[in-house]
Amino acid sequence: MSRLASAILGTPLILGVALTIARHESRRQRRPGVGSSTRTVSLRIDPSVDLVYLAEATLPCSLPCLDALTRATVIGVKLLGVRLELMEDAPCTSARQHPTLTVLESGNCFVTAFDRKIQVASFGAQHVHPRHIDMEVLHRGNLLEFLRADWFTVELSGTHRRRLTKALPLSMQLEFEVHETTTATA
């Protein structure tokens, strides 16, 4: 008699994504050409809105690192961890003139496919280190459907501690555990 069982692949699957958080560009600048004879409306915009960031990458399911997911025996993919690292060629982001991730206050990682968006990880000030951030995994469910989509989006959004004067290039590594079916004989 044979029955189906589940096994975990020995090596975790790592998906690496390059993201760039854009430098600050004021959204409250006056339009050129507005003179004293033109009536203007002054809007008060919350300054904290300037401290929000968004970086995303849309990826195909055909990436070489996702080849293991194409096997028919794969039944599940579980997120184990998300890590952000500062890219080696990152420009200076602080007055001390060397790049650092400490300019980030908080963040959330989302995966989107099939018009569905789920939050998979987040970080707060306590997770931030100058060169890396280990995010807290929030979604422990099966992400296979998302990663097998023709195209899926990985998004990072959150808040800065202060405005960025230069873009911040990041590397995000998502580590997954892959579950496969096996046939066991009794």
Is the residue at 41 inside a domain?
A: no
Confidence of residue 81 (pLDDT cuts 50, 70, 90): very high
C-alpha span between 130 and 178 (Å, rounded): 31
Q: Is residue 146 part of a domain?
A: yes
Q: Using an 8 Å Cβ cutoff, are 9 and 67 in contact?
A: no
- Does the residue 89 lie in any domain? yes
The answer to whether residue 106 sits within a structural domain is yes
Q: How many domains does the chain have?
A: 1
Establish if 87 belongs to a structural domain.
Answer: yes
In a domain, 8, yes or no: no
Backbone torsion region of residue 33, taken as left when φ is above 0, otherwise alpha when ψ lies between -120 and 50, otherwise beta: left
Would residue 35 count as lying in a domain? no
- CATH code at position 177: 2.60.40
- Three-state SS string over 53-108 comes to EEEEEEEECCCHHHHHHHCCCEEEEEEEEEEEEECCCCCCCCCCCCCCHHHEEEEE
Q: Helix, strand or coil for residue 16?
A: strand
Tell me the per-residue pLDDT of 159-172, one tens digit each, with 9 for 90 and over: 988 878 788 899 99
125 assigned to some structural domain: yes
Residue 142 structural domain: 16-24+47-181
- pTM given for the model: 0.79
pLDDT at 32 over 90: no
